[in-house]
Copies of this chain bind each other. A is one copy, B any other.
Amino acid sequence: MNYREALDTLKRHGYKYTGKRESMVQLFNRKDRYLTAKEVLEEMQKEYPGLSVDTVYRNLSLFEELGIVEGTEWEGERRYRFHCGGDHHHHHLICTECGRTKQLNLCPMNAILGEPEGFEITGHKFEIYGTCSHCQEQTEAKGGS
């Protein structure tokens, strides 16, 4: 997903092209990582001071529905990032400090064929959590002697 694709997706589905939606798309394009609703709100309020939380949550849901962003949750909060990788299915290494990700070209579901009996699969989640090199450096710098 890129900037133009995202706005095209909105148009194609008949949604209006507002400054706030453009701003949100730009935000996700700029920050290439998972963001919480709160982070999105705060970032966007720099440009739109009186921005309503309703607008953020509503558009986050819409964007996820349209595949503009992909959502997940960890540590009790829902998080979103620009939908990467086009159509090819993948998973992520996720830095729990900053939300940055690395793509994983491996899906464990390939090994599941025929496994479950009497269980209708509707989805799956495979995520590896940790600390990215960037955040490791930051921690070392702080804690260093």
Report A's interface with B, CB cutoff 8 A: 73-74, 76, 78, 93, 95-96, 102, 104, 106, 108-109, 111-112, 115-116, 118-133, 136
Contact = CB atoms under 8 A, between A and B. Distances in A.
Q: Which label, helix, strand, loop or mixed, suits the secondary structure of the A interface? A: strand
B104 A106 contact: no
Give how many copies assemble into the complex. Answer: 2
A93 B106 contact: no
A108 B78 CA distance: 24
B108 A126 contact: yes
Contacts of A73: 73-74, 76
Contacts of A111: 106, 108
A143 B2 CA distance: 42
Contacts of A109: 128
Contacts of A132: 118-119
Given A76-B78, A78-B76, A96-B122, A128 B106 contact: no
A125 B112 CA distance: 16
14 contacts: A73-B73, A73-B74, A73-B76, A74-B125, A102-B116, A102-B119, A106-B108, A118-B136, A119-B130, A119-B133, A120-B130, A121-B128, A123-B130, A125-B126
